[in-house]
Amino acid sequence: MRGFRFAFCLAVFPLVASARAATPSEDLIRQGEYVARAADCAACHSVRGQAPFAGGVPFDLPMGRIYSPNITPDPDHGVGGDTEEQFARAVREGVRKDGASMYPAMPFPSYARMTDADVHALFVYFRYGVKPVATTPPASTIVWPLSMRWPLTLWRGMFAPSPQSARRATQRSFPDPVLARGAYLVEGAGHCGACHTPRALTLQEKALTAADGDLYLSGGGSVDGWHPPSLRQENRTGLGRWSEDDIVAFLRDARASEGSAFGGMADAVEHGTQYLTDDDLHAIARYLRSLPARKTPDPVWKYDAATETALRSGDVSARGARVYVDHCAACHRDDGRGYPSVFPPLAGNPVVMDEQPDALITLLFKGATVPATRNAPSAFVMPSFAHVLSGQQMADVLSFIRGAWGNGASAVEVGDVRKSAPKGKGADGEGMPLN
């Protein structure tokens, strides 16, 4: 009997040891969480106030609305039943477990650059570090025949690189290993081009990396009413006046002396970039500063004190000046410089001087929140003015801001406000008057 127990223990011990060996280490789970932060998974798969990564975030595409899937380890509603190979193929190639192609709202053309080690860590994190949630997101509103997914297979073949070719492109020569790391984070996991690079009518990004040309990160199209600016070295509408430390502060704290995060970028900082190491943040910043300006000539912005002098003397005769004094100056000041790290400046702000005023109009309609971060624990809110200002007043005050303090941007007309107004507010007369 004693020999039987000994033999039984010898037989069972390898099974126990194997089970223990199969359990990933806490370090690997934490590494996967870090990759998930860098890849900003939460922003697209987590609805505020609901369980993390349970999906349900809406995406409005030209053909209708889709919702992000549940990526928790629930075996029936999430990715708990996926093998690592299936998980990796979904992330880097845009192919679901059932073989169907994903919509390009999933940034798999960028994720294709992710290393095997990072994808493995990501898989481990979503299998062992995330709580399973047994919920199914709403169904897509895309109707047949546009809902057929087989054309997406052709799209992937034409516009999405294979993981092998993408990684070869990422491994191009850099004079500085810090630049190489920054390129990997920006072009790969960070998928910055998904918002900040223009897209063709067929929805692909016109450039996936800096090696593809100077359209990369030169400013994207409208995303939920926001217009992502250039991340290249334009002096007026890009990052030309931002130092490496400015960019690091923005990615870490959602605020810098030149501006604050709002819209989708606020989510990216809140869920992702604030958790990156200083080394990685500096790598990203150094890489962005290596991208030359696309627009030429590229005049340097210079502060003009004429608007400040007029407002402080009580002169509100300029178009939109009275609206600015009544509704904006308390936070952004007569000199347009705001209160850095609290209320962003309007003078010299790249978003203010952008050729397209969409983001400013959306800000007036929706308001915005600069999120609290670990280093800046207080959130600051800009209220919505949808029920306060008429469409004409919005056009007037934005024209004033875009023309003041040396900004020199084009005026905004009420037609621009109607065009960029969120549905149900303005264009059809609901929510606020557009007179």
What is the pLDDT at residue 150?
86
The per-residue pLDDT for 104 is 87
Based on C-alpha coordinates, what's the Rg of the chain? 25
Residue 205 has pLDDT above 90, yes or no: yes
Q: What is the pLDDT of residue 318?
A: 97
Mean pLDDT of 192-199: 96
Last residue of a domain, one of 151, 171, 191: 171
Higher per-residue pLDDT: 71 or 300: 71
Residue 18, pLDDT above cutoff 70: no
Res 258: pLDDT = 87
Domain-located, residue 251: no
Q: Is residue 64 part of a domain?
A: yes
User: What would the pLDDT profile of 271-293 be if each residue is shown by its tens digit?
Assistant: 999 999 999 999 999 999 999 99
Model pLDDT for residues 360-401, shown as the tens digit of each residue: 999 999 999 999 899 888 889 999 999 999 999 999 999 999
Measure the CA–CA gap between 354 and 412, rounded to whole angstroms: 12
What per-residue confidence (pLDDT) applies to 64? Answer: 87
424 has a pLDDT exceeding 60: no
Is it the case that residue 21 has pLDDT exceeding 60?
A: no
- Full-model pTM: 0.89
Percent of the chain with pLDDT over 70: 91
Phi (first) and psi of residue 66, to 5 degrees: -120, 165
Distance CA 315, CA 98 (A): 66
| Predicted local confidence at residue 240, as pLDDT | 94
Mean of the per-residue pLDDT values of the chain: 89
- In this structure, is residue 389 part of a structural domain? yes
| Secondary-structure breakdown of the chain: helix, strand, coil percentages, each rounded to the nearest 5 | 45, 5, 50
H/E segment holding residue 417: helix 414-420
Task: Indicate the residue among 171, 199, 223 that finishes a domain.
Answer: 171
Question: 227 in a domain, yes or no?
Answer: no
Residue 423 confidence (pLDDT) above 80: no
413 domain residue, yes or no: yes
Give per-residue pLDDT as tens, 83-96: 999 999 999 999 99
Residue at 311 is within a domain: yes
Does the residue 219 lie in any domain? no
The 10s digit of each residue's pLDDT in 138-181 is 998 988 887 888 888 999 999 999 999 888 776 677 889 999 99
The model's confidence at residue 341, banded by pLDDT at 50, 70 and 90, is confident
Residue 167 has what pLDDT?
Answer: 81
Both tokens assigned to 151: 């054309």
Q: How high is the pLDDT of residue 17?
A: 38
Mean pLDDT computed over 28-36 = 98
**What CATH number should be reported for the domain holding residue 341?**
1.10.760.10
Judge whether 38 and 189 are in contact, CB under 8 Å. Answer: yes
In one-letter notation, the amino acid at residue 68 is S
Tokens 């919702």 appear where? 67
* pLDDT surpassing 80 at residue 16: no
- Annotated binding-site ranges for heme c: 41, 44-45, 192, 195-196, 328, 331-332
Range of the domain at 388: 306-420
Q: pLDDT tier at 421 (50, 70, 90 boundaries)? A: confident
Q: Which among 123, 149, 171 is the end of a domain?
A: 171
**Could you tell me which residues are annotated as the binding site?**
41, 44-45, 192, 195-196, 328, 331-332
Structure tokens at 228: 């992502």
Question: In this structure, is residue 119 part of a structural domain?
Answer: yes
Q: Cα–Cα distances in Å, from 345 out to 51, 196, 341, 393?
A: 35, 22, 9, 21
Cβ distance 310 to 222 under 8 Å?
Answer: no
| Distance, C-alpha 219 to centroid of its chain | 13
Tokens at 404, concatenated: 């003041």
What pLDDT does 214 receive? 95
Q: What is the pLDDT of residue 246?
A: 95
* C-beta separation of 63 from 142 below 8 A: yes
pLDDT score recorded for residue 14: 43
Return the pLDDT at 10: 38
Is the pLDDT at 51 greater than 90? The verdict is: yes
What is the domain count for the chain? 2
> How high is the pLDDT of residue 11?
43
